[in-house]
Structure 1
Amino acid sequence: MTLFILTSLILVGVILLMTEIIFVPGTTLIGILGLLFSAAGVYYGFLSYGTETGWIVLAATLIINFGLLIYGFKSGVWTKFALKDAITSRSFDDRLIGLEKGQEGKAVSDIKPIGKAEFGDIIYEVKSDIGFIRVGSTVFITKLEDNKIIVKT
């Protein structure tokens, strides 16, 4: 019965640690539980079988844990869970089409320092480089950069 409890504790610890590493990395709760179960197994080995066998249990537990970790890295199991696609598209890429530096518009909201202005028939979110601009004021585009419209009066 003692051997069954010892192996169960260590096996549950190893399974929880591998689950933390492979399936749910970053949660740490499962990893901590795995470490606690493994430590409880080693402690139980020291209590039940004495120091000499306890050190053997500790060494075996460390070898099993590190062996499975290395096997997990080398076997390519990570490629099954790794994200292979990358998002390359961007939103609002064509937002500044039709606008040019020096273009005149009208503030349709207070711009303090961010607000809305109308250029042509389209309302855009703009940023003031001079501070507060009252609604209804005439604004001019000073910069078009990084998908931002910078205006002044």
Structure 2
Amino acid sequence: MLLDWITVMLLIAIGLVLIVVELIFVPGTTFVGIIGFILTAVGIWLGYSSLGNTVGHVILGSSVLVGVVSVFYSFRSNAWSRFALKDQINSRVNDEYKHELFEGETGLTISALRPAGTAVFRERQHEVHTSGEFVDANTQVRIIKIEQNRIIVEEIS
């Protein structure tokens, strides 16, 4: 009898923990949530079959209550906010060089531009784009347009 109680309580507790882990850490329907639901259901079913209907109803009601309270409390109290990523990337490509280059300047491609790649202007590397054409590496290019932080180049023929 005591072993039945321990088995039922362990199955339900592990199942509820896995369901909360599924909701908080691994969003979506995944293996963890399915296993948690199965363990909880098996624990409740064992409670009904080995301990009787009255005790089974009590186990079912308290399992639902504990599950709802734990999920509500974990979302409401921001207990999981320390696990969330809070860093932001505020930088942009070529942001530090935006006023150094001008239209008409020439440079040399380091990588192939397909249609984006890297070129050297004034001994500094910059991310550059073409208007859609491909340009091989080690090719002379000229800046035809600078849009905000985007450098548009063309091959010098």
The answer to whether TM tops 0.5 is yes
Q: List aligned pairs for 1:46-65, cutoff 5 A.
A: 46-51=48-53, 53-65=55-67
Does residue 34 of structure 1 match 2:36?
A: yes
Superposition deviation, residue 150 in structure 1:
1.0
Distance in 2 separating the partners of 1:135 and 1:81: 44
Q: 1:3 aligns with which of 5, 14, 17?
A: 5
- What are the Cα deviations for residues 68-95 of structure 1, in whole angstroms up to 9, with x where unaligned? 1112223331334344443434454213
Does residue 25 of structure 1 match 2:26?
A: yes
Q: 5+ residue gaps in structure 2? A: none
Q: Which amino acid aligns with 1:39?
A: A
Task: Calculate the TM-score normalised by the size of structure 2.
Answer: 0.70
Superposition deviation, residue 40 in structure 1:
0.9
Superposition deviation, residue 102 in structure 1:
2.8
Distance in 2 separating the partners of 1:84 and 1:124: 29
Q: Which amino acid aligns with 1:65?
A: G
Give the aligned length: 152
- What are the Cα deviations for residues 102-148 of structure 1, in whole angstroms up to 9, with x where unaligned? 33345566544334444334444432215144667653312223533
Identical counterparts, % of pairs: 32
Q: 5+ residue gaps in structure 1? A: none
